[in-house]
Amino acid sequence: MNKLRIIGGVWRRLQLPVAPVEGLRPTPDRVRETVFNWLGQDCTGMDVLDLYAGTGALGFEAASRGAGRVVMVEQNRKVVAQLQENRAYLLSKWTETTVPKPALVVDSGDVLASLKRFAMAGAGFDLVALDPPFRSELMLLTLPLLKPVLKPGGLVYAEWHENLFSDEAALCKVLNVREIEVLRHLKAGQVHAHLFALPAL
């Protein structure tokens, strides 16, 4: 069985089982380390939304580094069951006495429906992370729904295959915005990882 290793924060070095689902693998350590370097290592108090959570690598890592609330959305039942088990295990291992345990929520359901529900409820997040199944069309369906759930100044972290967007203008068109602020970009094999901000509403 594959394992997920937390690489920083309160749960550093703890290993978690990954549900035995074909194609399900954690975001590589090197990529996660880079992403959290981009974010400044410390996620204290942040509200984080992890879409297509899969192994929970990004959501659990953010919680380990001090995020106040992490919502992980996943549809696959086997994956959800494993996320729930890993959530309970990690919370039992919270050793930080000066910072309260994070509100760590596993939301079982369709990502697109969940985003619409969050928007209607006025839920806001400082960081939205999304890594849908590789080479699927879900990225194109999800990106237009992000803006209503981002707090002012909120960030988006997304991974997609290299041929999905020809340039920044194509990405803006899908997001239905005139421009974005690309803060960081990493290419690892065929995967492009981006951290960007949307213009204020």
Q: Kindly list the domain boundaries of the chain, sorted by start residue.
A: 3-197
Q: Which residue has the tokens 């380390």?
A: 33
pLDDT of residue 197: 87
Question: Which residues, including other chains, have CB under 8 Å from residue 115's CB and lie 6 or more apart?
Answer: 51, 142, 145, 146, 148, 149
Handedness of CA 55, 129, 51, 87 (dihedral sign): positive
Token duo for residue 76: 């696959």
For domain 3-197, the question of CATH label 3.40.50.150 is answered with yes
pLDDT at 73: 98
Q: What is the pLDDT of residue 116?
A: 96
The Cα–Cα gap between 138 and 152 comes to 25
Going residue by residue through the chain (201 aa), what tens digit of pLDDT does each one get?
Answer: 689 999 999 999 999 999 999 878 777 788 888 888 888 877 889 999 999 999 999 999 999 999 999 999 999 999 999 999 999 999 999 988 888 899 999 999 999 999 999 999 998 999 999 988 876 688 888 999 999 999 998 999 988 776 666 567 777 777 877 777 878 888 877 777 888 888 765
Sequence-ordered alpha helix ranges (H) in the chain: 29-38, 57-64, 77-92, 111-121, 138-142, 168-175
